[in-house]
Amino acid sequence: MTVRPPIAWIVAAAVTTLVTVAILFLPIQNYYTGILAYAAVLGLLGLSVTLTLGYIGYISFGHAAFFGLGAYTAGLLAVKASVPFWFAVPIAILPGVLLGALVGFASIRVGGAYFAIATLTVSEILRLVALNWMDLTRGPLGVLVPRPRIAALAELGLDFQRYYLLICVACLALTVIGLSRLLRSPYGRAWLAIREASDLAESVGIPTLRYRVINIAISGGLAGLAGALFVPKILVLTPDLFNPMMSATGLLVAILGGKATLIGPILGGLVFAILPEALRFIDQYRIAVFAILLLLVVRLQPGGIMAMLPKRWTARKSQTPIDGAANPGEATVTTTEALRIDGLGRSFGGLRAVHDVSFEVRPGELLGLIGPNGAGKTTCLTLISGFTAPGAGRVRLGDADLGGLAPNVVADLGVVRTFQQTLLCGQLSPFENVLMGTHRVAPEGFLACLIQGKAFRERERKRAASASECLALVGLTDRAATRAADLPYGEQKMLSIAVALASRPGMLLLDEPAAGLNHTEAMRLSELLKRLRDRGLTLLVVDHNLRMMMQLCDRIVVLHLGEKLAEGTPAEVRANPEVVRAYLGDHATVLPSPTAEAAGA
């Protein structure tokens, strides 16, 4: 895996150095340092919004809740508890983190739209609390906060506006570096997987609820930090800090700069801070003109300012495989436990999708699950893998009962599935998709991803080597750096299998892997499945390609109208009159043999 310093690091370091030099050695007026400090605060607020909007796809209409809470926490600690203000600033991050986790957990189970409404509601509730809690907040009168001077810096000849700007820029730079590290770790890959294909994330062992809540908690903490840093500019705490206009500002800063980027919100913050001041010559019309310019940019360039810059400056640096790391022989694991399905059933309203289905998948075998359209095959896989809870019956892997477990827990137990409609992170490379699939192999803690010490880097190298092995196994090493969405359909199917293999399953459930493949691609898939079985991987395959299934499977289970119709070897199933009737009607006597079909082809 090629290691490059992310562009966000370079920009953050360069900007911090330039600002520091300017503050220390250039005669800058306080008016301009105040504008730049405000831009840094808006950049922080924009980064907090883009973390949820750009990386898990959740829009927020109420980030002012976290922003205002951070401001009030820092200000009240300084005024009411006599805590030095600059010590209160890091403390002010904590309430935003806790509120973000609470809002995320309470609203995220019901979807992104409800999250937007929840944040807006919480923001309005906090505004009303600040407005009416007179003993603590003095309501609309506000709380005056003394200017938080630092005596040691003043003795060095720095006035307040200069070191205030330096502190804001330093916080912004540290935030960019920290987020950049998280985004290039299992945490960032999990967030992108959740945004692009939440079911895929669950299927390879990523607990999506947990990672969504963590994302929103971090976002809330960053907005709280922005609010705390805003206090020295305004020096008064009022309920207007929770105003929806502040939420709209943060959202527009993220969109204007370019969502799903770390530099974009900083550029958006600069525009929001500088342009209204630059338009003062038109007096009362400046806000209207600024709004029109903003709408034009968003309308004409949805990718924001970052999309206007030369691509060589903004091109995303994809992670790449480790040269010579691929060893396809190590890309599979085996299981000694059988999967037993007993009396499995599930109805949807009046539709009985699966009823009293029982069979066993033995360790090391390749079991086929076939049947006409609507037989309940995919529903059966969905029940086994935990995406839908069984209405009746049991699913057991050895002594473990899988019934009712979340899909990521089922994956942790070694049962991983693919999907009938290929699910991939289309904007990522094949290598990055497969690297995302290694999530459960070597789980990482938050601090390890943030610090990225030697042990973390070694584990990351092993994850990259494992991803390279899986790509080599499915024959996509040469396509590792291509955008996944640009791959031909057949290669996307193979890539989806590689992603599943990266999670090191003991049992792999494949839902129509040959659907849409031509003859050559189907033969290539068949050879891959044979190699996986020969290496001891247990496979349960659902497919309509009877020629392939009859040649490939050790045993076959046939479903029809949600019930098990037959079970046996391919030869036994092919000659079963009930199976023939289900597929071909009452006048057929036997299904064509694979040998005869191949000869006819």
More confident residue, 265 or 332: 265
Cβ-proximal residues to 97 (8 Å cutoff; 6+ apart), any chain: 217, 218, 220, 221, 224
pLDDT (tens digit, 9 = 90+) per residue, 350-367?
A: 889 999 999 999 999 999
CA 583 remoteness from chain centre = 42
CA distance 231 to 222: 15
Question: Do 71 and 64 contact (CB within 8 A), yes or no?
Answer: no
Q: What would the pLDDT profile of 143-174 be if each residue is shown by its tens digit?
A: 999 999 998 888 877 889 888 998 999 999 99
Determine the Cα–Cα distance for residues 436 and 319; give it in Å rounded to an integer: 11
CA pair distance 201, 206, nearest whole angstrom = 5
What mean pLDDT is predicted for residues 293-299?
75
pLDDT at residue 601 in the model = 37
Integer Cα distance of 35 and 293 in angstroms:
20
pLDDT band, very low/low/confident/very high, at 53 (cuts 50, 70, 90): very high
pLDDT category of residue 447 using cuts at 50, 70 and 90: very high
CATH for 338-600, options being 2.60.120.370, 3.30.360.10, 3.40.50.720, 3.40.50.300: 3.40.50.300
Of 198-202, 309-313, 516-520, 588-592, the range with the lowest mean pLDDT is: 588-592
Cβ 92 vs Cβ 228: under 8 Å: yes
Among 19-28, 35-44, 84-93, 402-411, the range scoring the smallest mean pLDDT is 19-28
The yes-or-no verdict on residue 296 having pLDDT over 90 is: no
pLDDT at residue 376 greater than cutoff 70: yes
Q: How far apart are CA 179 and CA 51, in angstroms?
A: 9
Lowest mean pLDDT among 67-71, 110-114, 437-441, 491-495: 110-114
pLDDT bin (cut points 50, 70, 90) of residue 10 is low
Residues β-bridged to residue 566? 558
Per-residue pLDDT at 470: 95
The mean per-residue pLDDT over the stretch 10-36 comes to 74
Q: Beta strands 339-348 and 351-361: pairing type? A: antiparallel
Its pTM stands at 0.90
- Could you tell me which of 50, 60, 55 has the C-alpha nearest to residue 258? 50
Q: What residues contact 161, with CB distance under 8 A and at least 6 apart? A: 30, 33, 34, 37
Mean pLDDT of 381-408: 93
pLDDT greater than 50 at residue 254: yes
Strand partners, 236: 144
Structure confidence at residue 332 (pLDDT)? 60
Q: What is the pLDDT of residue 285?
A: 72
One-letter identity of residue 358? S
- pLDDT per residue over 380-391, tens digit each? 999 999 999 999
Domain segments of the chain as ranges: 7-314, 338-600
Q: What is the pLDDT of residue 596?
A: 47
* Placement of tokens 């539709």 in the chain: 351
**pLDDT confidence bin for 15, thresholds 50/70/90:** low
Which residue, among 417, 463, 423, 419, has the nearest Cα to 440 in the 3D structure? 463
Of 413-422, 479-488, 575-584, least confident by mean pLDDT is 575-584
Statement: residue 525 has pLDDT above 60: yes
Instruction: Name which of 40, 306, 34, 75 is nearest 175 in CA terms.
Output: 40
pLDDT at residue 3, rounded to an integer: 42
For the chain, give the number of residues: 601
pLDDT for the residue 337:
87
For the chain, percent of residues with pLDDT exceeding 90: 68
Per-residue model confidence as pLDDT tens digits over 457-482:
999 999 999 999 999 999 999 999 99
49 within 8 A of 206, measured Cβ to Cβ: no
User: How many Cβ atoms are within 10 Å of 458's Cβ, its own excluded?
Assistant: 11
Topology of domain 7-314 in CATH is ABC transporter involved in vitamin B12 uptake, BtuC (1.10.3470)
What is residue 154's three-state secondary structure?
helix
In this model, does residue 505 exceed pLDDT 90? yes
- Is 147 exposed, middle or buried (CB count within 10 Å of its CB: 0-12, 13-18, 19+)? exposed
Residue 331: pLDDT band with limits 50, 70, 90? low
For residues 122 and 164, what is the distance between their CA atoms, to the nearest angstrom? 30
